[in-house]
Amino acid sequence: MQLTRHNSKVKTIDCSHYINGEFVQSKSGETFENINPATKAVLGTVQIGGKEEVDLAVKAARKALKGEWGSMPLKKRSQIIRKIGDLILERLDELAHLESLDTGKPIWLAKKVDIDRAANNFHFFADYMTTTTNESYQQDDIAIHYSVRKPVGVVGLINPWNLPLLLLTWKLAPALAGGNTVVMKPSEVTPMTATVLVEICKEAGVPDGVINLVHGLGETGAAITSHEDVDAIAFTGETTTGTAIMKAAAPTLKKLSFELGGKNPNIIFADADLDDVIETTLKSSFINQGEVCLCGSRIYVQRQIYDEFLDRFVDAAKKLKVGDPFDPETKVGAMVSEEHYNKVVSYINIAKEEGGNFLLGGKTLFEDKGFYIEPTIITGLGTDSRCVREEIFGPVVTVLPFDTEEEVLEQVNDTHYGLSASVWTTDVKRAARFSAQIEAGMVWVNTWFLRDLRTPFGGMKHSGIGREGGTHSIDFYTELTNVTLKL
Give the footprint of ligand NDP on this chain (CB under 6 A): 158-162, 167, 185, 187-188, 217-218, 221-222, 225, 236-238, 241, 244-245, 259-262, 293, 391, 393, 419, 459, 463-464
Shortest distance, position 273 Cβ to ligand NDP, whole Å: 28
Q: Give me the residues paired with residue 236 across strands.
A: 259
Which is it for the CA torsion 396, 402, 404, 410, positive or negative? negative
**Which of 382, 49, 11, 470 has the alpha carbon at shortest distance from 221?**
49
Spot the catalytic one: 53, 99, 259, 291: 259
First to last CA, the chain: 77
Distance CA 288, CA 330 (A): 11
Q: Give me the residues paired with residue 357 across strands.
A: 379
In terms of C-beta distances under 8 Å and separation of at least 24 residues, what long-range contacts does 137-144 make, across chains too?
141/487, 142/486, 142/487, 143/484, 143/485, 143/486, 143/487, 144/484, 144/485, 144/487
Distance CA 52, CA 216 (A): 12
Q: Is 235 or 434 the residue whose CB approaches ligand NDP more closely?
A: 235
Q: Is 270 or 465 the residue whose CB approaches ligand NDP more closely?
A: 465
Concerning whether 291 is annotated as a catalytic residue, the answer is no
Strands 181-185 and 154-158: parallel
Shortest distance, position 107 Cβ to ligand NDP, whole Å: 20
Q: Is 150 or 389 the residue whose CB approaches ligand NDP more closely?
A: 389
Which is it for the CA torsion 71, 76, 82, 84, positive or negative? negative
Q: Is 32 or 358 the residue whose CB approaches ligand NDP more closely?
A: 32
Shortest distance, position 340 Cβ to ligand NDP, whole Å: 7
Q: Is 49 or 370 the residue whose CB approaches ligand NDP more closely?
A: 49
Shortest distance, position 163 Cβ to ligand NDP, whole Å: 6
Shortest distance, position 238 Cβ to ligand NDP, whole Å: 3
**Which of 303, 300, 312 has the alpha carbon at shortest distance from 274?**
312
Shortest distance, position 406 Cβ to ligand NDP, whole Å: 28
Cα-only R_g, the chain: 23
Q: Is 165 or 305 the residue whose CB approaches ligand NDP more closely?
A: 165
Catalytic residues: 259
